[in-house]
C-alpha cells in the first residue's frame, strides 16, 4: 500500500477551524499515516506566530528568570484552539508542564520548539493518534548535522505499533542531550526525515498555497503555476527566495527518490506541485521553470595580472574567508579577475575590513573593490541546456528594462543563470525575465 507522510505548516495549525480542515484531509485518505506539524501561524494580518511568542518568552526568561507573563499569550492561544476543537484534553496541565520546563531548561532552542510540541499534542488528541516526541527520535551529531542512521532507526521503531502517529517538526535532540532546533521553516526538514525513515511513497507538504509559481506573485500578477520540477530546480529556487519549501528539505528524501508534493490545506482539490527525482522528472517543454531573487549580497572583486598562472591563488583567497567564518555563495572568475559573492549579513563592518586586509596580505592583488547592495536573480530550468539563445533572450529583456548586470554566473550544468543587479532593480529584473520567457 502507498504510504504518505504529511507535513502541515503553521497556517494549517493556526486555529481550531484550520486544524479541523487538516483532520478532514488526513481522514480522507487512509494512506496518510504519519503527520508532522508546525507551530500555529498567523490567523490574520497583524497576528503573531506562536514561535515568535515563544521567542518573547525566552527574552523575558533571560531578563527576569521566569517567563510567566509572556507565556500567558501562548497559553491563551492553545486554550482557544482546544476550545474551538471541542475535544476532551487537559490542555491546562500540558501548558503548566511546558511552562515549568521552559523555566527550568533556560534554552532558546527548547523554548522555541514548544509551539510544535504543543501543536502535535493537540493534533494527536484530535486524530486519536499516537504522539511521538521528536526529542526522542531525531538526533544531531556533535557538528550539528543530522545523525541519519540513529534517527531513521529510532523513528522506524517508534511507528512500528502505530496506526497513525503525529510528530512535532522543527526540533530533535542535540549531542549534548538537549533539545536542538533546525533553522526557521525546519518542520519541512522534519517531514522529509520522517518520510525517509518510514520509506514513504510520497511526502505531502501542506501549506497555504497551491504549489510553486514561476515567480513571486507580488512581483508579477498571476504567474504560471509549476506543475512539476526536479529536486535540483527546487534547491535553486528555494535558496534564492522562493519560500514555499525549505531548501534543505530535499536531502533526506532525495537518496530514497521520494517525491514531494506541495498542496494547499484550504484548497485540497487543487493539483499542487510535484517535486521529483530526475529519473521521474518530465519537462513540460518550457525553457525556464522559474525565476527567483534575493537581495543584500556583497561582491568582492579582485584583479591581478597573470592570476591564472599563480598556483593556489583562489585557495589563498578562500582561506581568508574560511578563517573569518564567512560562507561563499558564488565565485565568478576570468583570466585575471575573480569575484567572491557573500551574504552581506555575514561580512558587515569590521569583518569586511578583516577579509579585505587578509586578501591583500595573502595574494597582493593589483585591485580589490567591494560592491554592496547587490541582488542575485536566478533563472532556473532544465530546458535551458537544450535551448539555443536563452542567455541572449535574458540579457535582451534586462537591456530593454534598462537594467545593468553587475555580475553574471552560469553553472556548468546549464541549469541556471544568475545575474547580480542593484538591490533596487531586483523586482524589475524578475518581472522583465518572466515576461520574456512566459509572455
| DSSP tag of 378 | E
pLDDT digits (tens, 9 = 90+) for 278-305: 888 887 788 999 999 999 999 999 999 9
- Predicted local distance difference test score (pLDDT) of residue 289: 95
Out of 99-103, 122-126, 239-243, 389-393, pick the least confident. 239-243
Element (H, E) at 362: helix 350-363
65-91 average pLDDT score? 97
Q: Report the 10 Å Cβ neighbour count for 155.
A: 24
- Predicted local distance difference test score (pLDDT) of residue 235: 87
Query: Which of 433, 426, 435 shows the shortest CA–CA distance to 380?
Result: 433
Q: Which three cell numbers stand for residue 49?
A: 506566530
356-366 average pLDDT score? 96
Q: Quick one: pLDDT band at residue 52, thresholds 50, 70, 90?
A: very high
172-176 average pLDDT score? 97
- Predicted local distance difference test score (pLDDT) of residue 239: 81
Phi, psi of 49 (to 5 degrees): -65, 145
Of the candidate CATH numbers 3.40.50.300, 1.25.40.10, 3.30.2130.10, 3.10.20.600, the domain formed by 290-438 belongs to 3.30.2130.10
Q: Where are the domains of the chain?
A: 4-208, 290-438
Q: For the stretch 91-127, what's the b/e string if a residue is b when 16 or more beta carbons lie within 10 angstroms of its beta carbon? A: beebbeebbeebbebebbbbbbbbbbbbbbbbbbbbb
Q: Which three cell numbers stand for residue 269?
A: 482539490
Query: Which of 434, 426, 236, 209 shows the shortest CA–CA distance to 329?
Result: 236
Answer yes or no: is pLDDT of 388 > 70: yes
Q: Report the 10 Å Cβ neighbour count for 311.
A: 8
Instruction: Give the integer Cα–Cα distance in Å for 228 and 212.
Output: 9
Predicted TM-score (pTM) of this structure: 0.90
Instruction: Give the integer Cα–Cα distance in Å for 283 and 226.
Output: 11
Q: Quick one: pLDDT band at residue 386, thresholds 50, 70, 90?
A: confident
- Predicted local distance difference test score (pLDDT) of residue 227: 93
pLDDT digits (tens, 9 = 90+) for 85-141: 999 999 999 999 999 999 999 999 999 999 999 999 999 999 999 999 999 999 999
C-alpha dihedral, 416 to 247 to 292 to 324, nearest 10°: -80
Q: Quick one: pLDDT band at residue 77, thresholds 50, 70, 90?
A: very high
66-76 average pLDDT score? 97
Phi, psi of 94 (to 5 degrees): -65, -45
- Predicted local distance difference test score (pLDDT) of residue 348: 85
Query: Which of 109, 203, 112, 196 shows the shortest CA–CA distance to 154?
Result: 196
Answer yes or no: is pLDDT of 72 > 90: yes
DSSP per-residue codes, 235-282: HHHHHTT-TTS-GGGHHHHHTTT--EEEEETT-TTS--EEEE-TTT--
3-state secondary structure string across 47-88: CCCHHHHHHHHHHHHHHHCCCHHHHHHHHHHHHHHHHHHCCC
| DSSP tag of 29 | -
Answer yes or no: is pLDDT of 1 > 80: no
Answer yes or no: is pLDDT of 31 > 70: yes
Q: Per CATH, the architecture of 4-208 is what?
A: 3-Layer(aba) Sandwich (3.40)
Instruction: Give the integer Cα–Cα distance in Å for 439 and 435.
Output: 5
Give percent above pLDDT 90 in the chain.
87
- Predicted local distance difference test score (pLDDT) of residue 233: 92
Name the average pLDDT for the chain. Answer: 95
Most confident of 116-120, 235-239, 330-334: 116-120
Instruction: Give the integer Cα–Cα distance in Å for 280 and 325.
Output: 38
Give percent above pLDDT 70 in the chain.
100
Instruction: Give the integer Cα–Cα distance in Å for 10 and 58.
Output: 20
Instruction: Give the integer Cα–Cα distance in Å for 209 and 421.
Output: 29
Instruction: Give the integer Cα–Cα distance in Å for 184 and 46.
Output: 19
151 to 132, 146, 176, 193: CA distances (angstroms): 13, 8, 15, 8
Q: Which three cell numbers stand for residue 361?
A: 596580505
313-318 average pLDDT score? 95
Element (H, E) at 231: helix 231-239
Residues with Cβ within 8 Å of residue 33, at least 6 apart in sequence: 3, 4, 5, 159, 162, 163, 164, 165, 198
Amino acid at each position: 500500500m502507498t504510504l504518505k507522510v504529511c507535513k502541515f505548516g503553521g497556517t494549517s495549525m493556526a486555529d481550531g477551524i484550520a486544524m479541523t480542515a487538516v483532520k478532514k484531509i488526513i481522514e480522507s485518505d487512509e494512506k496518510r499515516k504519519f503527520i508532522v506539524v508546525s507551530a500555529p501561524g498567523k490567523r490574520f494580518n497583524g497576528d503573531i506566530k506562536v514561535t515568535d511568542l515563544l521567542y518573547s518568552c525566552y527574552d523575558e526568561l533571560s531578563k527576569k528568570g521566569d517567563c510567566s507573563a509572556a507565556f500567558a499569550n501562548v497559553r491563551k492561544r492553545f486554550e482557544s484552539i482546544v476550545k474551538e476543537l471541542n475535544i476532551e484534553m487537559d490542555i491546562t496541565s500540558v501548558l503548566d508542564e511546558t511552562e515549568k520546563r521552559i523555566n527550568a531548561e533556560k534554552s532558546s532552542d527548547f523554548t522555541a520548539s514548544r509551539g510544535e510540541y504543543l501543536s502535535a499534542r493537540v493534533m494527536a488528541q484530535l486524530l486519536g493518534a499516537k504522539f511521538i516526541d521528536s526529542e526522542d527520535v531525531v538526533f544531531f551529531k556533535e557538528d550539528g548535522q543530522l545523525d541519519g542512521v540513529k534517527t531513521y532507526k529510532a523513528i522506524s521503531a517508534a511507528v512500528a505499533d502505530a496506526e497513525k502517529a503525529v510528530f512535532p517538526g522543527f526540533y530533535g535532540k542535540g549531542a549534548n542531550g538537549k533539545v536542538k532546533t533546525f533553522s526557521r521553516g525546519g518542520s519541512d526538514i522534519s517531514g522529509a526525515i520522517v518520510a525517509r525513515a518510514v520509506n514513504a511513497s510520497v511526502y505531502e507538504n501542506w501549506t497555504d498555497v497551491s504549489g510553486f509559481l514561476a515567480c513571486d506573485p507580488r512581483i508579477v500578477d498571476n504567474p504560471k503555476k509549476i506543475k512539476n520540477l526536479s529536486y535540483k530546480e527546487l534547491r535553486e529556487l528555494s535558496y534564492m527566495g522562493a519560500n514555499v519549501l525549505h531548501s534543505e528539505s530535499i536531502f533526506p528524501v532525495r537518496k530514497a527518490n521520494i517525491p514531494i508534493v506541495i498542496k494547499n490545506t484550504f484548497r485540497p482539490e487543487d493539483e499542487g506541485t510535484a517535486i521529483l527525482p530526475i529519473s521521474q522528472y518530465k519537462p513540460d517543454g518550457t525553457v525556464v521553470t522559474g525565476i527567483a531573487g534575493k537581495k543584500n549580497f556583497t561582491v568582492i572583486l579582485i584583479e591581478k595580472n597573470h592570476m591564472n598562472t599563480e598556483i593556489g591563488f583562489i585557495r589563498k583567497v578562500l582561506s581568508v574567508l574560511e578563517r573569518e567564518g564567512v560562507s561563499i555563495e558564488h565565485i565568478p572568475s576570468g583570466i585575471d579577475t575573480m569575484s567572491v559573492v557573500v551574504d552581506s549579513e555575514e561580512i558587515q563592518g569590521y569583518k569586511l575590513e578583516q577579509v579585505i586586509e587578509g586578501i591583500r596580505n595573502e595574494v597582493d592583488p593589483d585591485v580589490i573593490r567591494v560592491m554592496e547592495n547587490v541582488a542575485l536573480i536566478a533563472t532556473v530550468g532544465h530546458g535551458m541546456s537544450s535551448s539555443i539563445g536563452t542567455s541572449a533572450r535574458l540579457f535582451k529583456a534586462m537591456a530593454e528594462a534598462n537594467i545593468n548586470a553587475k555580475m553574471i554566473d552560469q553553472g556548468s550544468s546549464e541549469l541556471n543563470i544568475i545575474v547580480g543587479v542593484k538591490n533596487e532593480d531586483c523586482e524589475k529584473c524578475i518581472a522583465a525575465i518572466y515576461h520574456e520567457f512566459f509572455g
